[in-house]
Amino acid sequence: MTRPFEGIRVVDATHVLAGPFAAYQLALFGADVIKVEDPNDPDQSRSSGSDRKLARDGMGTYYLTQGSNKRSIALDLKQEGGRDVFRRLVQSADVLVENYRPGAFDALGLGYAALSALQPRLIYCSVSAFGHGGPRSTQTAYDFVIQAATGLMAMTGTRDVNPIKLGTPAVDYATGTMAAFALASALFQRERTGKGQRIDLAMYDVALMLAASHVTSFLRTGAPPQPNGNNHAHATNSCFETKDGLVMLGASNLRQQRRLWKLLGRPDMAKDNNDQRHDDRAREMAVLAELMRTRTADEWEAFLQPNGVPASRVRALPEALSDPQLATRGFLHTHAGAPDVPGEFTVPVAAFRLAHGGAQVTSPPPRMGADTDAVLAELGYDAAAIAKLRAAAVI
């Protein structure tokens, strides 16, 4: 069974995390993704990550995370010769993804108007910090800067310790996921209309979407979200100390909280509506804090889950990755190695499975420019023309 994007060519002119992750998702599902990098200024993710040697060698773990299944060409778009190659590449493509500062590609003559005139079916996706247009459009940012700008940091932490950025680059990966969804939507629409289009995707919007319920609540009531740490508006949805660690309770709805209080031997604490839960929160927190200390976190999880009450011991990432559940999901792929990467390394794949034609890793992340000659040959450049481009430092 073919994968959803087989036959689709994607020009990936992105860097860091969000843009490359979007292209990676399409590559997993069959797209021919060609990563374009400046030979004088490679994707900074190549020099990022916890393995310093790999980072020095241009194969950092940040790059490895989303570099599989792609081909790589080195192309200097500051030179007219490089832009000529880029235009020819786009003419052969279905999708272009770029995440440079708004206006940068237009200044090079590679904006949507220019490239869609060459390839009317082109899906041109621009990922930026604040979007194209508006008073902040020329500003640049990274994940953590967007967290600061959108209120995510201010609502994270505790009343005493805040603001705190999220422990992961969640905005980057949410942006990449949203971009993949936008591209899939545009490609589906193109099947009906035959026309390409422009996608304007802002990290700022994505970050606020991650806080969607808080956005609606604030705009309705005028009460901004507070940094409540591990506590929730309902006591039965909060985190508690046990004999040996922390357990997070998730008795969220009325049915589950009634079930929890019955299991704990305190049916008198169960409430008939959420207003009662809000009003009695302090007393519920105190009762639960005392009860939760009577068992270990593992014992609580083993007791509550089979009885229909969501609960989990608080785990660190290493333990989560060793959970047998993960092995059943096809979420990870282990490469035997890659150019300039000695030994095995493992990367996340996709966060969902298809019954047929699902995500598949077919090649390891390439060195920068590893496929330059092959791609140029596909575009019609002969050996002499390629040599001339190399002599001019275009490639």
Burial label for 164, CB within 10 Å (0-12, 13-18, 19+), is middle
3-class DSSP state of 171: helix
3-class DSSP state of 99: coil
Distance CA 313, CA 242 (A): 9
Distance CA 23, CA 180 (A): 7
Nearest Cα neighbor of 26 from 43, 46, 4 is 4
Catalytic sites, residue numbers: 172
Q: Which residues lie closer than 8 Å to 49 by C-beta, 6 or more apart?
A: 55, 60, 61, 62, 63, 64
CA distances from 66 to 20, 246, 317, 359 (A): 6, 33, 19, 13
Strand spans (E) along 342-387 = 345-348
- Residue 123, token pair as written in the block: 């899906």
CA distances from 183 to 88, 96, 193, 196 (A): 21, 10, 15, 11
Nearest Cα neighbor of 385 from 108, 88, 109, 90 is 88
Distance CA 88, CA 36 (A): 13
DSSP secondary structure string, 236-301?
A: GGSEEE-SSSEEEE---SHHHHHHHHHHTT-GGG--SSHHHHHHTHHHHHHHHHHHHTTS-HHHHH
Paired sense of beta strands 32-37 and 70-74, if any: parallel
Burial label for 108, CB within 10 Å (0-12, 13-18, 19+), is middle
